[in-house]
Structure 1
Amino acid sequence: MEPESFFHVALKVEDIDECATFYREHFDAELLERGDADSGAGATAVNYAALEVADKRVYLFDRAPYEAAGLSSEIPPGFLHFGFVVDDIDQAHQELTAAGIDFIMEPSVFGDLKIAFFADPAGVRIELLEHRHR
């Protein structure tokens, strides 16, 4: 599998507004969007802010999408995962599964994205993202 690009870092924080202000004030971050847990279900039932810092996104979550979906136990605040864009998530999933990698979350559609999660040998969570409508 060859990722197309590095897309984002996701962090779990206790106060999204406080952290978003920190990144705006000290890293000249731009707020791209806000999400509300009440408008989602399962993995999308999370509060979040998406920021652009330099040329990358930083997502600030109140809980991880895989926590919200019941696919993992509660994760403490801090680093959640980083994400790579791939051209074909099903092909990437097939290659990685054939190589013996177990997925935390199988490929799933979320609006214009198809995403999947797995972990490296040290347990670091990695998200694959496919933009479905380019």
Structure 2
Amino acid sequence: MAGRRRARAVGFNHVALEVGDVEEALAFYRRIFDFELRGKSEDMAFIDLGDQFLALQKGRRQPADDGRHFGLVVDDKDAVRKALAEAGVEILPGPFLDFLDPWGNRVEVVAYENVQFSKAPNVLRGMNLAHLSKNPQALDELAEKGMSP
């Protein structure tokens, strides 16, 4: 196998979460986040994240997640914290802003300014988020990888 080139993983197109009911899931997530639907069927809904999406798929059967989670990047982490409180959703103990949805999917909320993950300027413009920027630590981390904006 020497010399064989392997494909390089370059990012995520989407994350799929299993939920008990698609309409209930959309209602739950709308209480926490502002979003547009990319598409919807009886058994699936696709929440638009610009050049990515979150899929909600009917059919959750396993118990609640513990360590398994995904990090959802947002423009305003404090607004999420407030929306969770208003919706009566418990924030999980620990150093991060984690919560479980009604079907046991664990979500970690991450502020765009704090992470290396970056949307291209044209995507941010299209999402009406061109005002977002990175904090100095995130910029340093990107610079170390040769990825300065």
Higher relative contact order (CA 8 A, sep 6+): 1
- TM value normalised by structure 2: 0.33
Decide which structure has the larger Cα Rg and report it. Answer: 2
Q: Kindly indicate which of the two structures has a greater share of residues assigned to strand.
A: 1
- TM value normalised by structure 1: 0.36
